[in-house]
Amino acid sequence: MIIDNYKINYKITGEGKTVVILQGWGTSLEMYDTIANSLSSDYRVIQLDFPGFGHSDEPREAWSVDDYANFVLKFLDKLDIREASLIGHSYGGRVIIKLASRDELPIEIEKIVLIDSAGILPKKSLKQKTKIRIYKIGKKLANTKILQMLFPEAIDNWKSKQGSPDYRNATPIMRQCLVKAVNEDLTDNLVRIKVDTLLVWGDQDTATPISDAHIMEKAIPKAGLVVLKGAGHFSFIDQPYIFDKVMKSYFEIS
């Protein structure tokens, strides 16, 4: 599919009402096949790679979460979808929060599932604040021409170790997209979500901790929380059997 001159990778399985799965940062749509398999007996399930993810073209400029939300609307319009349930993992949850909290949408969202969703900006500890300050000083020094000439290998080695694995593994454009996302707090958007929302979380999630789930459950008017014991940030992979049962129950699949 081509949208705004971007080649977009996607696939559709099953028939019935539409469910769209929005992926986590840096993943490809195949990672969510197990979720699709849980639903495709009764639903038409659509998986896609966001621009810059999987096998879709990369954005030509740094996109915000709102830009990705706008892209999803164009994608759904291309498929002539006017009603859909939305499932989002991690970054995909950010995009859903943006969409569902808007005052007006060209589509009707029937149900929402947020899996280990991102969107809550964590409060930084003193240790984290100090680390950020040291990083900024180091970055400023590393960009000076004299040090670049004298210690090029040392500077390259220092730069390669900075940031999260997602940041280090991303291209320059996608790094800018990631920075825009992680610095935006979506907490105030949650209260504007009026759709039935299921939160599914791993209690061992360190990327988006279980405390984020409790914030979302309290803020979203029609939210319920299922905690998967022993699961991490990819709770649907860590506890596939229980996750499958949860999905079938929520989407009323016998």
The CATH number given to whatever domain includes residue 32 is: 3.40.50.1820
What confidence tier does 158 reach under pLDDT thresholds 50, 70, 90?
very low
Mean pLDDT is lowest, of 10-24, 151-165, 214-228, for 151-165
Q: Which pLDDT score is estimated for 165?
A: 75
User: Is 111 found in the same domain as 53?
Assistant: yes
User: Is 223 found in the same domain as 103?
Assistant: yes
User: Is 228 found in the same domain as 137?
Assistant: no
What residues contact residue 146 under an 8 Å CB cut-off, 6+ apart? none
CA distance 247 to 115: 11
Count of structural domains, the chain? 2
User: Is 230 found in the same domain as 160?
Assistant: no
Please compute the mean of the pLDDT values over residues 10-27 and round it to a whole number: 97
Please compute the mean of the pLDDT values over residues 33-44 and round it to a whole number: 98
User: Is 211 found in the same domain as 90?
Assistant: yes
C-alpha count within 13 angstroms, C-beta hemisphere, residue 210: 14
Q: Residue holding tokens 């990819």?
A: 234
User: Is 91 found in the same domain as 59?
Assistant: yes
Please compute the mean of the pLDDT values over residues 154-174 and round it to a whole number: 67
User: Is 200 found in the same domain as 104?
Assistant: yes
CB 46 within 8 A of CB 20: yes
User: Is 110 found in the same domain as 89?
Assistant: yes
Question: Encoding tokens for residue 173?
Answer: 């454009």
Please compute the mean of the pLDDT values over residues 23-37 and round it to a whole number: 97
pTM over 0.75: yes
pLDDT digits (tens, 9 = 90+) for 69-119: 999 999 999 999 999 999 999 999 999 999 999 999 999 999 999 999 999
pLDDT digits (tens, 9 = 90+) for 43-64: 999 999 999 999 999 999 999 9
pLDDT digits (tens, 9 = 90+) for 169-221: 789 999 999 999 999 999 999 999 999 999 999 999 999 999 999 999 999 99
Domain that holds residue 112: 2-121+184-250
User: Is 173 found in the same domain as 69?
Assistant: no
What residues contact residue 138 under an 8 Å CB cut-off, 6+ apart? 158, 162
